Amino acid sequence: MTNRTVTVIGGGLAGTEAAWQAVRHGASVVLYEMRPTVPTPAHQTDRLGELVCSNSLKSDRENTAPWLLKEEMRRAGSLLLRIARQCAVPAGQALAVDRELFAVQVTAAIEAEARIEIRRQEMPEIPACGAVIIASGPLTSPSLAESIQRLTGSERLYFYDAISPIVDASTIDHRKVFAASRYGKSVPAAAGGAPRGAGPSEETAGDYLNCPLNEEEYQRFYEALLGAESVPLHDFEDRKFFEGCLPIEELARRGRDTLRFGPMKPVGLVDPRTGGMPYAAVQLRQENLRADSYNLVGFQNHLKFGEQKRVLRLIPGLEQAEFLRYGQIHRNTYINAPALLRPTLQLRAEPRLFFAGQICGVEGYVESIATGMLAGIYAARLVGSEGELLPPPRATALGSLCHYITHADPRNYQPANMTFDLLPPLCAATPKLSRRERHARQCQIALAKLEEWLHAHAGAPAAS
């Protein structure tokens, strides 16, 4: 190692983006990924950047909060967003990827970088010296988690995250489903500026398959779901679900119509066979470019596999469905970031240490990549002695996301997705605007502020 070497722990979304950015900004990187030597409950391969839950990177509709975060990252030179665009599959207004192709390309890009050394081994403890980015993710190994706990002096926090089922496309009864995006909307092929590359040249307004349910079918499904048997948790584990990713059975327990206002909402869908909106609907999103598998959108659960098969086959169109993957539940570990981190993602007590990805308390693929990107830039500047580290302006999505995770109430810290609520409100003197106009104005301000920060702080990245 040289004194300009950054150690990155974790080869997921945050870790790979961090490693790439650190190299682009002049550092060398040693990247530790414990798979396949040490497996996790959720990963299925040893590839870098493997997606383990949904294949969606959320909305790419202009002037939405998820779009703003992605647009800022595109302008900052995110590797993983560039690869995501190349691996895109039809998903309405969302940016979704062929998860296998995405991981293959991320792995290839990192392996091809001469200044990134990949070590396929567990890092059981935080290194005693040097700049370190801890991006070990929600499935951090027990030994490393204990090392983090000893260092921070705080107890580990955790919640339960669930994985949606995937169904074999050839076993869907297409006579009972219909293709449509909500409100007939779809993202143009060049949304966000860059072409989709390996993706389809043009999307239609039918990027989802929809399974419509009438009231009787919905009630039958609802009752079966309530009565289904869940996988038991260990005695020492409490149920502490993240509100943004509740299992469908937990939602169902909150009321008979909760699912109809959540993952089974029919709003914006018209069944062409009836000409009307169904009572409820389940959306299926294409998993890969071959279109040979679909995931049940928002149907994360922790039912026993046999129960999942029984209950989910009550959905019209899925009566004979074969499941390529059942929903699962796993524990996610994250630190109490507001009590521990600076806005630059550095540990307050030991600034050579950075945290990025879900372990610092962001929720979502793009948010994880974003914090990895920033941590990589910061760490490279730190080892290069390039002056003070400054977070992106508060008016940006990147700055607001980091502001939330480092300034939220540490007594009740919940992981966060990027929303407009995180951005500062417009000046009171701003003329009265509609919600859409207000969001567009916030995006305009954010992108202008980002350009200033990139010029002044991120600088021109070194050639890779």
* pLDDT tens, position by position, 60-115: 999 999 999 999 999 999 999 999 999 999 998 999 999 999 999 999 999 999 99
Residues of the chain short of pLDDT 50, as ranges, are 187-204, 235-236, 460-464
Report pLDDT for 203: 34
* pLDDT tens, position by position, 169-199: 999 999 999 999 988 765 433 333 332 233 3
pTM check: above 0.85:
no
Q: Which residues of 394-419 are buried (b: 16+ CB within 10 A; e: fewer)?
A: bbbbbbbbbbbbbebeeeebebbbbb
Residue 108's SS3 state is: helix
- Measured CA to CA, the distance from residue 175 to residue 168 in angstroms comes to 16
- Measured CA to CA, the distance from residue 409 to residue 240 in angstroms comes to 18
Question: What residues form DSSP beta bridges with 207?
Answer: none
Radius of gyration in angstroms for the set of CA atoms belonging to the chain, rounded to a whole number: 22
- Measured CA to CA, the distance from residue 185 to residue 390 in angstroms comes to 39
Tokens read off for 335: 């630190």
Contact 56, 285 (CB under 8 A): yes
Report pLDDT for 233: 64
